[in-house]
Amino acid sequence: MIGVLLFYALYPLVCFLSRRSPEASKKRDRTSVAVNGTAVWDGDTVTLKYAQSGATKQDQSGETKERLKEPVTKEDSPSPNMDEEPLSAGLQDRRKDAAPEMTEVESAVEGEGEGPKMDDGEKVINHDIMYRNQNEKDQSTSTGDHVSEQRALVALPKCLTVEGSMQETSCPEQNHSQTTNLEMPVISVKETLQASNTDKSKTPEEPASAVTECWDDNIVTTRDLPADGAGNSDFAPNPLHSISQTYRKPDELRGAQTGWDFPVRPGLSQEVSCSLRSFPAASYYTTVEPTVPLKVMWRVWEELDAASESVLTPFTIERASLDFTVMSYNILAQDLLELNQHLYAHCPLEVLQWNYRCSLLLSEIEKWAPDILCLQEVQENHYHEDLHPVLSQMGYTCVYQRRTGKKTDGCAICYQSTCFTEAAVSKLEFFRPETKLLDRHNVGIVLLLRPLVATGAELKEAGPPLCVANTHLLFNPRRGDVKLAQLAIMLAEIDAMIKSCKARGEHCNVVFCGDFNAIPYMPLYQLVTTGELYYQGIPTWMVSGQEDLSYKPSYHRLFAPLWPSSLGISDICQYTTENMFKTDCQNSGTRKYTHEFMLQLRLCPAACVRPQDLILIPGVTDNRPDTSEDVQHYYRFRDRLRHQVDLGSVYKHVLHGSGSPEVTTLHSEGGATVDYIFYTPKRAFSKDQRAYKKSAEKGLKLLGSLSLLSEDLLWSMNGLPNHIFPSDHLSLVAQFQLELDNA
C-alpha cells in the first residue's frame, strides 16, 4: 500500500516536474539530490519514455478531471507552494504563438524497491497520465481559437517544501509547460519505445539520461513520503492540480511571468536554461523500468523580436506576402553511422537503428511541416524505400542527388507542391576528374522555385523566384582548399540562377542550406557571409576551423590561384564561360567570355611574359604590363576570393540567454555548429522611399527559428543520436516571409 501511495504521489509529481525541466531531464545528478539536507540517491530507477503524443483526441475533459483526481487520494487542495512558486520560478515571457513543441517525452518513474506492486500502480498511473494528457489537449482544443493568446505556463518551484524542510533543487531552471500538440501523429514509435523501455536489459545509461535534476527533488520528495503520510497526501496532488489550474487561468499566470514567453500552439513546450553537468555515459546507473509517459519539449520556437523589426521598417506597406518554413537536416546516413561506429559508442543500440531513426525523423519533419526541406546524408536506398514515399504523401516534391563515388548517401531538396513550383534544377557534382583539387565526391543541388498563391481554386505563380540550394561539403578538416572550391561551385551555380532571373527583370532571393563542415566565423564561413576572403597564406585546416591542427609539424597553406582557371569558375565565384555548365548555352560550343572574366586573366603569369615573336616598335609595342595602375589594381586582388550572393545566417551561433555556443552536430568526438541556413536578408532599405514603394523589397524577412541546444545539454541527453533526436545533427528550422510583388 505504501508503494501504491508512493506511486500515486510520485507520478503526478514527476509529470509535473518533468514538464518544468525537460531539458534537464537527461542530465541527472543523482548524487546532488538533497533530502533534508542529506545527499541521497540510492539508485531509484527512473526512466523516460518517448512517445508520440496525440492518441485519440476525444473530448474527455470532464472525465479526465475526475480521473485526475483519483490518484489524489486524500486531498484535492493544492499546496500553496505549488501554486505560487511556479510564478516565481523566473519564467520569462517568450512569445511563441505558433510554436509547436519539439519533442515529447513520455517518461516513467518507478521506485525500484516496490517490485510486485509495480504493475498495478503503473497501469493506474499510466491511465491517469494519459488522461491528463488528453485533458490538456482538450483544454487546449477548447481554447484552440485563441491559441496565440494562450499561455499555459507551469513553473516549478525552485524549492519544494516537504515536511517543512526546504529542498533546493539543484538546478535553477525555468520551465513552462505547454499544451500537448494535437497535431502530433500517432506513430508506431510509441509502441516501439514502450517495448524497448520495458525491456529490462536495456542499456544502463538510459535511466541516467532520462532523469532530470528536477526529478530528483520530486523523487526525493516522494521517497520521503512514506516517512510522513500527511506530507505525502498534502504534496501529491499538487502537481496535477497546479497544472490544471494553470490551464484554467493562463492570463493570471502570464501576468505574473517575467522574461519568458511561451509557444502557444497546442502543444507542450518547455525550456530550461540552467547550468547543467554533463553525463555523457552514466552507465553505472542501475537499469530502469519505464512506465509513465511524460511530455517534454526540448527545442522552442523563437520568433524574431517584432520590436526590432519595426525599427527597420518604420511604416509598413501592405503587400501580399508568403510565409514559408525551411528545414535543413543532416539525417546521418546509416552506412556512415555503421562505418564510424566509434563516434556513436555512447548511444544505446536501439537509437542507432534505421527504422527507429527513420520514424523519429519523419515525425519531426511532420511536426515542423517545413515548406522546403533540405536533407543531407540521405542514403539512396532509404530515400527510395522509406523517405520519398512518405514525403510524397506529405505533399512534397523531391529532388535527390546521390554522391558520386562509393558513398551511398546524397542530398535532397523537397518542397511542398502547393507552395512552390519548380523553375529550374541544377544537380552539382563536385568531383571533377580534370581538376586535381576536386577529387572528392560531394554534391549539391540548386533549385529555382516560384511561389504559388491560391487564387480561387487555382494555384498561380506569383512573386519573385526563390533560389534554394543545399549541399554537404567535404568533411576532411585538413582540406579547406577543397571545401572552398566546392563552395565556389555552389556559389557560382546560385549566381547563375540569380543572373538568369535578373535577365528576366526579377530579383531572386536565396536560401542556402547545408552541412558546410565549417564552424562559424572561420574563413569559409566568412566568405559566405561577408562575400570576401583574403586567403593568401591561410593554413588549409583553418579554413573550416573544425580542428586546430596548428600543432602539426607541417601543413598546407592557401596560395593563389586556389584552383585552375580550367575549372571555369572565377575568384568571384562565378562561371567564367556561360556555357560551361548547362546554363544558358545558346550555341553550345561557343566560347563566350564575359568582360569581367577576361579582365581577371589580365595579369595571369602567362600574360606578363613578353611574346618572343613580338617585334619591338618603339612607341607601339614597348609597353610593360606591370607599370600601369590597372596592373597594380589587379595584382592587389589576386589573393582574394569573393562572391556576389548576399547571404546571412539564420542562427547567431550563440544561445539566447545562456550565451553558450549553439551546437548543430554532436558525436563522441565533440560538438559544433557546422550546419547553416543562409538566406538573402532584407536589408534596411535606402532613404529613397519611392524606389521602395515601386518594387517589392528585396530580401527575405526572417520571422523565427527553432532554437538549437548547447553541447552540455545534448550530452545530458546522452549525446546524439538519442531517443528524441534521430541524427547526430539537429534540424535547423527557420521561417521566412517573402514579399510577393504583384500585390
Partner 1 sequence: MNNKFDALKDDDSGDHEQDQGSPKDSEKEKPEEEEKEQIIIKKKMVVPGPGEHPLQYNYTFWYSRRTPGRPASTQSYEQNIKQIGSFASVEQFWRFYSHMIRPGDLTGHSDFHLFKEGIKPMWEDDANKMGGKWIIRLRKGLASRCWENLILAMLGEQFMVGEEICGAVVSVRFQEDIISIWNKTASDQATTARIRDTLRRVLNLPPNTIMEYKTHTDSIKAWEDFHGLVNASSGR
Nearer to partner 1, 618 or 659 (CB): 618
Q: How far is the CB of 504 from partner 1 (least distance, A)?
A: 17
Assess contact for 539 and 554: CB atoms under 8 A.
Answer: no
Binding residue for partner 1 (CB under 8 A) from 598, 633, 689, 695?
598
Question: 278-299: buried (b, 16+ CB within 10 Å) or exposed (e) per residue?
Answer: ebebbeebebbbbbbbbbbbbb
Q: Does 632 bind partner 1 (CB under 8 A)?
A: no
Q: Applying CB under 8 A, what is the total number of residues that bind partner 1?
A: 38
Q: How far is the CB of 632 from partner 1 (least distance, A)?
A: 13
Binding residue for partner 1 (CB under 8 A) from 144, 625, 657, 661?
625
Cell digits of residue 685: 532599405
Binding residue for partner 1 (CB under 8 A) from 36, 594, 660, 737?
594
Q: Is the dihedral of CA 248, 252, 258, 262 positive or negative?
A: positive
Q: Does 610 bind partner 1 (CB under 8 A)?
A: yes
Q: How far is the CB of 430 from partner 1 (least distance, A)?
A: 20
Q: How far is the CB of 588 from partner 1 (least distance, A)?
A: 12
As a whole number of angstroms, the distance between CA 106 and CA 125 comes to 13
Q: Does 345 bind partner 1 (CB under 8 A)?
A: no
Binding residue for partner 1 (CB under 8 A) from 621, 644, 689, 695?
621
Q: How far is the CB of 631 from partner 1 (least distance, A)?
A: 8
Nearer to partner 1, 599 or 740 (CB): 599
Binding residue for partner 1 (CB under 8 A) from 576, 673, 716, 718?
576
* 3-state SS class at 319: coil
Binding residue for partner 1 (CB under 8 A) from 597, 678, 679, 715?
597
Q: How far is the CB of 628 from partner 1 (least distance, A)?
A: 8
Q: Is the dihedral of CA 473, 474, 479, 481 positive or negative?
A: negative
Calculate the alpha carbon distances from 154 to 18, 174, 252 in Å. 11, 10, 12
Selected range binding partner 1 among 90-98, 282-290, 611-619, 697-705, rule: CB under 8 A: 611-619
Nearer to partner 1, 457 or 615 (CB): 615
- Position of cell 532571373? 501
Selected range binding partner 1 among 54-62, 357-365, 387-395, 598-606, rule: CB under 8 A: 598-606
- At a CB cut-off of 8 Å and minimum separation 6, what does 44 contact? 110, 111, 112, 113, 219, 223
Binding residue for partner 1 (CB under 8 A) from 1, 307, 615, 684?
615
As a whole number of angstroms, the distance between CA 80 and CA 70 comes to 20
Binding residue for partner 1 (CB under 8 A) from 201, 550, 586, 588?
586
Cell digits of residue 285: 546507473
Our CA angle for 62, 63, 69, nearest 5°, is 100
Calculate the alpha carbon distances from 741 to 386, 447, 497, 525, 560 in Å. 39, 21, 19, 31, 42
Question: 255-275: buried (b, 16+ CB within 10 Å) or exposed (e) per residue?
Answer: eebeebbbbbbbbbbbbbbbe
Phi, psi values for residue 182, rounded to 5°: -70, -25
Q: How far is the CB of 614 from partner 1 (least distance, A)?
A: 5
* 3-state SS class at 709: strand
Selected range binding partner 1 among 15-23, 508-516, 605-613, 672-680, rule: CB under 8 A: 605-613
Q: How far is the CB of 599 from partner 1 (least distance, A)?
A: 7
Binding residue for partner 1 (CB under 8 A) from 145, 318, 458, 613?
613
Assess contact for 464 and 448: CB atoms under 8 A.
Answer: no
Nearer to partner 1, 406 or 591 (CB): 591
Nearer to partner 1, 308 or 623 (CB): 623
Q: How far is the CB of 688 from partner 1 (least distance, A)?
A: 23
Assess contact for 419 and 321: CB atoms under 8 A.
Answer: no
Q: Does 602 bind partner 1 (CB under 8 A)?
A: yes
Q: Does 505 bind partner 1 (CB under 8 A)?
A: no
Q: Is the dihedral of CA 350, 352, 353, 357 positive or negative?
A: positive
Q: How far is the CB of 432 from partner 1 (least distance, A)?
A: 14
Selected range binding partner 1 among 125-133, 164-172, 479-487, 618-626, rule: CB under 8 A: 618-626
Q: Does 623 bind partner 1 (CB under 8 A)?
A: yes
Q: How far is the CB of 622 from partner 1 (least distance, A)?
A: 7
Q: How far is the CB of 635 from partner 1 (least distance, A)?
A: 12
Nearer to partner 1, 116 or 589 (CB): 589
- At a CB cut-off of 8 Å and minimum separation 6, what does 667 contact? 343, 344, 719, 720, 728
Nearer to partner 1, 475 or 637 (CB): 637
- Contacts made by residues 31-37, CB under 8 angstroms, sequence distance 24+: 32/170, 32/213, 32/216, 33/170, 33/213, 33/216, 33/217, 33/219, 33/220, 34/167, 34/168, 34/170, 34/220, 35/167, 35/220, 35/223, 35/224, 36/163, 36/165, 36/167, 36/224, 37/165
Q: How far is the CB of 636 from partner 1 (least distance, A)?
A: 16
Assess contact for 650 and 734: CB atoms under 8 A.
Answer: yes
Binding residue for partner 1 (CB under 8 A) from 306, 503, 606, 684?
606
Binding residue for partner 1 (CB under 8 A) from 230, 604, 691, 743?
604
DSSP code of residue 260:
B
Cis peptide before 721 (omega within 30 of 0): yes
As a whole number of angstroms, the distance between CA 734 and CA 732 comes to 7
Among 229, 236, 241, CA closest to 160 = 236
Q: How far is the CB of 593 from partner 1 (least distance, A)?
A: 4
- At a CB cut-off of 8 Å and minimum separation 6, what does 346 contact? 205, 280, 281, 668, 718, 719
Nearer to partner 1, 149 or 622 (CB): 622
Binding track, positions 529-568, relative to partner 1; x by CB under 8 A: -----------------------------------xxx--
Cis peptide before 561 (omega within 30 of 0): yes
DSSP code of residue 623:
-
Nearer to partner 1, 393 or 586 (CB): 586
Q: Which of residues 638-697 bind partner 1 (CB under 8 A)?
A: none
Binding site for partner 1 (CB under 8 A): 564-566, 576-577, 586-587, 590-595, 597-599, 601-604, 606-611, 613-615, 617, 619-625, 631
